Structure 1
Amino acid sequence: MTRRLPLRLRLASCLRRFRRREEGVASVEFVVVFPLLMMILFSSVELGVITLRQVMLDRAVDLTVRDIRLGTGGNMQHDTIRDAICARTGLVTTCTQSLRLEMVQLDPFNWAGVDTTPDCIESVEEVNPVTTFINGDSNDLMFLRACMSFSPLFPYWGLGDKLQKDGDGRIRLYAASAFVQEPK
């Protein structure tokens, strides 16, 4: 009759043998490191795309505001301004549906400030009516804010999973500009 070792000694002996073995060492390292490297890669791509979209939105708003301020864009209304911004963003395919503009006139002598929570479209399919859009006259201080929402490239992996999203899983980008309209 053979006497069996206690469970604790058998486990210790099994772990010692496992630790001395060298088969599959590269596989274990690959399984541990590969998901981490992929998460870093996907997060880098996601951050790069978000940064590129933000820069393009800022640039498009700045160029459009310049046209409004100098009066070279004509008498621009909401849809004209939105289309001018969308034509200059480049990378955003659903810009006309996902871009929301807010333009208000400010009184520098009786400062009331601007609402700090931008108004954004909740979904590409829903088109909300314009909430605040006032064209200014000569020498009026105007504030234009654009809010664009879009779906992340990798919504459930890496950075895309950690970003703050709306109810439809879309990320929001904001661009704002204040300007004084030139005299006519």
Structure 2
Amino acid sequence: MCPQKRNLVSNIFAKLNEHIREELGQPASLMRLLAEHPGIRVTLDPPRGSIAVASVVPWHKLGAEKTCPWDTARGGLLGWKMDALSNYGSFRLQRPEYAQIGRCETSAQWSCDISELHGFAASKSALNDFTNTDQMVKADSPALISAITREKLNENLAHRGIRIIRACQKLCV
């Protein structure tokens, strides 16, 4: 076989192999692009974790995004890929296992230590400045923890700014 035909056959098989790998979920064309142009690689520093809700990964929403109003199936992922004419277009991949990731359970007997909570949505404190609740209280409200007693807890729970905990006030007596 002449070198030109061998090269053509090799290119066809390479494209077919890449297409099959893409269809199976492996980012073959991205890997090829990065191998051909190593200068486009950049390191991505992970965001600094904080107690702000924006820093909590919403795993319960993975595959739950709706791409159109009539779309009701969970487990769909939206992405981009190049078609045969080298045009980029969006595509949707249905992955049933992603529909199973998030679930909600309600338990009347559940309790927790508030210092274990992350993902506060609102506060007068700058939530992005703190990696845990203890840091926030020590920096912004040391008077709230000047004494660790039931009386101090009841005083803190009675504060007008703690509206969400009003129902718990009666339990702490």
With normalisation by structure 2, the TM-score equals 0.27
Structure 1 or 2, whichever has the larger Rg, is 1
Question: Larger relative contact order (C-alpha < 8 A, sep ≥ 6)?
Answer: 1
User: Which protein has the bigger strand share?
Assistant: 1
